[in-house]
């Protein structure tokens, strides 16, 4: 029994790390996509095919515990609606506005990476999740490492509009509430069912705003003939959308949902601290961006904190 539990915990950790690796690449992909597509159009092009892809996977893998697509009972619909409204819909809107309001991307990234500090509060209030001493120490140590990774060596600390600060915290809170809702959804539903319905709900909110703000004109104004040139920015943007659709919106979300229901809201959100670390590694590998010693120390603290967070305390 203990071996089976340890194996399940290990699978959850692997799933969380994989999801964070994918999401750490998402920031680069989003930048490439938004060089061509307006923000809401990019979101529509990203999540619409992801829903169709999940429906297709669900129809093919009907006997899979992880990938089967189930009918949602009426009494459980409110949980799915709240989850889909909070994320992707509300989180992505608030995140976009906070980046726009804050003049420093460094400050924005730091504020948007505070979910490990906020998640335990929501989890304790709504789910009665109990944090152990190791959990608390690990979350604090990894959060210190995250702030070091983001802030060390950065010179632009101008805030810009102070409205960006509450917007960033509101975005993080929306993401954490989404995690709580996914945890509260009964275990009988597969991770694919949860993510698929949540994204369908979010699209129901996204489409009216997209038609109002950008609409069909955003698509018709793009020079699609540029696709013939594989080196064009449009081709890179389209490839970025494909990555966001398949990996970020489907695979990573399903893996995160799977792990969340095993380790809980607080421990799952603690892994968000390693996203800036992986992003820093990608920037070093792809763009040659050198890291000062403080950032390396930050990465070590993040990994150490997560290791402590996942340790089971001995019962005396």
Rounded to the nearest 10 degrees, the angle between the axes of helix 164-184 and helix 91-101 is 160
Q: Per-residue pLDDT for 192 more than 50?
A: yes
Window from 4-8, 143-147, 225-229, 287-291 with minimum mean pLDDT: 225-229
Buried b (16+ CB within 10 A) or exposed e, 61-88: eeeeeebbbeebeeeeeebbbbbbbbbb
35-60 pLDDT per residue, tens? 888 888 888 999 999 999 999 999 99
265-285 pLDDT per residue, tens? 888 888 887 887 787 778 777
Report the distance separating Cα 240 and Cα 243, nearest Å.
5
Q: What is the pLDDT of residue 312?
A: 61
- Please answer whether residues 247 and 109 qualify as being in contact, where contact means their C-beta atoms are separated by less than 8 angstroms: no
Of residues 77 and 124, more confidently modeled? 77
20-40 pLDDT per residue, tens? 999 888 877 887 888 888 888
Window from 3-17, 106-120, 184-198 with minimum mean pLDDT: 106-120
What are the residues whose beta carbons fall under 8 Å from the beta carbon of 202, sequence distance 6 or more? Answer: 47, 84, 85, 87, 88, 89
Question: What mean pLDDT do residues 84-88 have?
Answer: 94
Q: What is the pLDDT of residue 108?
A: 66
Q: What is the pLDDT of residue 63?
A: 84
Q: What is the pLDDT of residue 254?
A: 94
Q: Rounded to two decimals, what is the model's pTM? A: 0.84
Q: Per-residue pLDDT for 95 more than 70?
A: yes
Window from 59-63, 81-85, 118-122 with minimum mean pLDDT: 118-122
Among residues of the chain, what percentage have pLDDT more than 70? 84
Residue with tokens 């399903």: 254
Of residues 76 and 307, more confidently modeled? 76
136-163 pLDDT per residue, tens? 888 888 888 877 777 776 655 555 677 8
Nearest Cα neighbor of 253 from 23, 86, 52, 82 is 23
Report the distance separating Cα 280 and Cα 291, nearest Å.
8
Please count the other Cβ atoms lying within 10 Å of the Cβ belonging to residue 259.
25
Window from 29-43, 87-101, 118-132, 142-156 with minimum mean pLDDT: 142-156
213-257 pLDDT per residue, tens? 887 777 777 666 665 665 566 788 889 999 999 999 999 999 999
**Please, what is the average pLDDT of the chain?**
82
pLDDT band at 315 (very low <50, low <70, confident <90, very high): very low
Q: Per-residue pLDDT for 314 more than 80?
A: no
**What Å distances lie between residue 173 and 52, 94, 105, 113, 188, CA to CA?**
28, 10, 19, 11, 26
Q: What is the pLDDT of residue 251?
A: 95
Q: What is the pLDDT of residue 135?
A: 78
Of residues 228 and 75, more confidently modeled? 75
Nearest Cα neighbor of 47 from 219, 201, 209 is 201
């Amino acid at each position: 029994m203990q071996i089976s539990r340890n194996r399940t915990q290990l699978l959850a950790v692997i799933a969380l790390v994989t999801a964070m690796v994918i999401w750490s690449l998402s920031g680069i992909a989003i930048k490439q996509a938004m060089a061509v597509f307006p923000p809401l159009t990019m979101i529509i092009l990203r999540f619409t095919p992801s829903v169709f892809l999940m429906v297709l996977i669900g129809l093919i893998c009907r006997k899979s515990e992880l990938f089967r697509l189930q009918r949602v009972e009426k009494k459980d619909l409110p949980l799915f609606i709240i989850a889909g409204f909070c994320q992707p819909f509300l989180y992505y809107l608030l995140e976009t506005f906070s980046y726009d309001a804050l003049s420093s991307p460094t400050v924005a990234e730091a504020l948007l990476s505070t979910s490990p500090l906020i998640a335990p509060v929501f989890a304790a209030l709504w789910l009665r999740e109990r944090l152990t001493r190791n959990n608390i120490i690990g979350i604090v140590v990894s959060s210190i490492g995250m702030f070091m990774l983001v802030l060390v060596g950065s010179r632009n600390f101008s805030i810009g509009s102070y409205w960006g600060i509450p917007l960033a915290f509101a975005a993080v809170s929306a993401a954490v509430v989404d995690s709580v809702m996914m945890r509260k959804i009964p275990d009988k539903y597969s991770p694919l069912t949860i993510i698929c319905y949540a994204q369908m709900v979010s699209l129901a909110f996204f489409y009216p705003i997209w038609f109002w703000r950008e609409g069909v004109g955003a698509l018709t104004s793009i020079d699609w003939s540029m696709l013939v040139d594989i080196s064009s920015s449009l081709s890179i943007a389209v490839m970025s959308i494909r990555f966001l659709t398949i990996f970020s919106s489907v695979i990573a979300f399903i893996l995160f949902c799977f792990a969340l229901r095993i380790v809980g809201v607080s421990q799952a959100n603690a892994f968000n601290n390693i996203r800036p670390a992986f992003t820093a590694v990608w920037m070093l590998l792809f763009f040659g961006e050198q890291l000062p010693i403080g950032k390396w120390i930050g990465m070590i603290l993040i990994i150490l904190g997560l290791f402590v967070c996942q340790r089971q305390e001995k019962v005396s």
